[in-house]
């Protein structure tokens, strides 16, 4: 038994986790501001509310680049720089059990994998405000030598729209809500949320259908790269934008079938998971079952 904690820009969600599923209620706590102290207090509160005993382990998913428990930077917490979050949280909670901290999308991939019985290689993309990702290969979360690998949202898929990572033409510049809004503005539409683009496309508005077509082509290219690279048993697409599977799915999958390596395409199941908000909580707890520090060791 472990407690999984998902930290987002507006608050913290957590639950007890057993055998790849939440066990009991998901508890939530808002954060007073985006300071490290406020977030630590919120985590402490949810762990206490879940009756975190001294021997319980706590796993935490945090948006941003995380290396060996240290949050290097986070889009949701712009003031954070090299915050040793795992150590600060360990000191705060004073548990005997392990405390682990990792990137939220990496953690969501672990959660999706645990929910599927911890079998088969898995690639996950979270299509939300940004695009995050995670890869499970041979039972291990792939994180690279410094913990910041598997940034699947920042693979090049085309175009020259600037990305927050410093690159151009990243998957994130097309298939995130930020990307949909940027694409809509490029054709003169003043939208503020990606949802508005999806709604306009469902109403048959030409400009919005064109924006979604662009996103679908980008997603098809991204899926092709990922399937060719990792030969996964399953690709899970989650996050708010994945709820537009009716618009994105057919063209993206047609592109994948036309251009991917055939044996890998044939054996990859594509799952549209919608918001799938429990993945990050379940996966955060599953960090404790990964080899100690194996996902973040500098090698």
In the complex, the residues that contact Zn ion under the rule CB under 5 A are 154, 163, 165, 167, 170
Q: Look at residues 203, 205, 208, 206 and name the one whose alpha carbon lies nearest to residue 193.
A: 208
Q: What is the nearest approach in angstroms of Zn ion to the Cβ of residue 158?
A: 13
Q: What is the nearest approach in angstroms of Zn ion to the Cβ of residue 228?
A: 20
| Cβ-Cβ contacts under 8 Å for 216 (sequence gap 6 or more) | 247, 248, 249, 250, 251, 252, 255
Pairing verdict, β 70-73 and 27-30: unpaired
Q: What is the nearest approach in angstroms of Zn ion to the Cβ of residue 66?
A: 17
Dist. CA 210–CA 150, nearest whole Å? 29
| Cβ-Cβ contacts under 8 Å for 273 (sequence gap 6 or more) | 112, 236, 237, 238, 242, 279
What string of DSSP letters covers 11-58? EEEEEEEETTEE-SPPEEEE-SSSSHHHHHHHHHHHHHHTT--TT-EE
Q: What is the nearest approach in angstroms of Zn ion to the Cβ of residue 63?
A: 14
In terms of CB distance, is 161 or 202 closer to Zn ion? 161
In terms of CB distance, is 179 or 260 closer to Zn ion? 179
In terms of CB distance, is 170 or 183 closer to Zn ion? 170
| Cβ-Cβ contacts under 8 Å for 276 (sequence gap 6 or more) | 108, 112, 236, 238, 239
In terms of CB distance, is 100 or 172 closer to Zn ion? 172
Q: What is the nearest approach in angstroms of Zn ion to the Cβ of residue 220?
A: 18
Q: What is the nearest approach in angstroms of Zn ion to the Cβ of residue 166?
A: 7
In terms of CB distance, is 40 or 135 closer to Zn ion? 135
In terms of CB distance, is 5 or 131 closer to Zn ion? 131
């Amino acid at each position: 038994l472990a407690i999984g904690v998902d930290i987002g820009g507006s608050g913290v969600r957590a639950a007890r986790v057993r055998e790849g599923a939440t066990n009991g209620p998901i508890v939530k706590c808002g954060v007073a501001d985006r300071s490290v102290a406020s977030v630590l207090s919120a985590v402490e509160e949810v762990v206490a509310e879940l009756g975190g005993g001294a021997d319980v382990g706590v796993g935490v998913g945090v948006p941003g680049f995380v290396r060996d428990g240290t949050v290097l930077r986070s889009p949701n917490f712009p003031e954070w720089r090299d915050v040793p979050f795992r150590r600060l949280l360990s000191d705060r909670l004073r548990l005997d059990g392990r405390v682990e901290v990792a990137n939220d999308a990496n953690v969501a991939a672990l959660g999706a994998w645990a929910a599927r019985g911890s079998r088969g290689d898995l690639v996950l993309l979270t299509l939300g405000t940004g695009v995050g990702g995670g890869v499970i290969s041979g039972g291990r979360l792939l994180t690279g030598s410094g913990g910041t690998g598997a940034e699947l949202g920042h693979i090049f898929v085309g175009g020259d729209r600037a990305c927050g990572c410093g690159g151009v033409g990243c998957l994130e510049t097309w298939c995130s809500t930020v990307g949909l809004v940027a694409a809509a503005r490029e054709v003169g539409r003043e939208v503020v949320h990606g949802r508005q683009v999806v709604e306009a496309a469902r109403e048959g508005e030409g400009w919005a259908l064109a924006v979604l077509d662009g996103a679908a082509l980008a997603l098809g290219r991204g899926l092709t790269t990922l399937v060719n690279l990792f030969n996964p048993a399953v690709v899970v697409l989650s996050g708010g934008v994945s709820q537009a599977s009716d618009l994105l799915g057919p063209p993206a999958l047609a592109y994948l079938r036309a251009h991917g390596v055939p044996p890998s395409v044939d054996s990859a199941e594509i799952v549209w998971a919608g918001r799938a908000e429990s993945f990050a909580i379940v996966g955060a707890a599953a960090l404790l079952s990964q080899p100690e520090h194996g996902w973040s060791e500098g090698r």
